[in-house]
Amino acid sequence: MSTVVSLEKYIHNDLVRRVEELSGQDLLACYQCGECSAGCPAAFAMDLLPSQVIRLLQLGQVEEVLNSATIWFCAACQTCYARCPKGVDLSRIMEALRELAMERDGDTLKHTEIPKEELEAFPQQAIIAGFRKYTL
Ligand code: SF4
Ligand code: SF4
């Protein structure tokens, strides 16, 4: 994995600030101990480890993270949060990244676009789960 750091990709660029706003997390609190990656049950399927995600964000490389499969493999189990000595909640960061990826790709769903008959027929859990994944 090559990483290019430049003034244009300065650590606190607009996308990094959006991740911080949406997640409510302090990205610079992470000191790269790796405890999150060591305990993550989905790490085997990820192309970037959780600790690599946060390191890239610290370096302003948000697009690289948005293009990775990792943000979609995170199961929001919060094992990383429980293990993190700095209290960084990576599951909230992953959720913020999914939101940004969907915003970038225009991949969103409005409840007004779902036919009334389908709204009545679908299990409530499926509708709520869908909105967690497909709305901003
Ligand atoms: S456990 Fe916390 S401090 Fe350690 S690498 Fe992960 S996010 Fe950073
Ligand atoms: S919340 Fe996501 S990144 Fe953290 S341990 Fe669970 S699957 Fe891994």
CATH of the domain at 11: 1.10.1060.10
Q: Does residue 35's CB lie within 6 angstroms of at least one atom of ligand 1? A: yes
Q: Which domain holds residue 136?
A: 108-136
Instruction: Give the position, in ligand 1's atom list, of the atom nearest the Cα of 51.
Output: 5
Question: Does 66 reside within a domain?
Answer: yes
Same domain, 14 and 43: yes
Question: Does 2 reside within a domain?
Answer: no
Q: Does residue 64's CB lie within 6 angstroms of at least one atom of ligand 1? A: no
Which residues fall within 8 angstroms of residue 12, CB to CB, at 6 or more apart?
60
In the chain, the number of structural domains is 2
Question: Does 77 reside within a domain?
Answer: yes
Same domain, 136 and 97: no
Burial class (CB in 10 A: 0-12, 13-18, 19+), 118: exposed
Which SS3 state, helix, strand or coil, does residue 135 take?
coil
- Over residues 94-110, the pLDDT tens digits come to 999 998 998 887 766 66
- Over residues 53-105, the pLDDT tens digits come to 999 999 999 999 999 999 999 999 999 999 999 999 999 999 999 989 988 87
Q: How far is the CA of 70 from the centre of ligand 2 (A)?
A: 10
Determine phi and psi for 102, rounding to 5 degrees. -70, -35
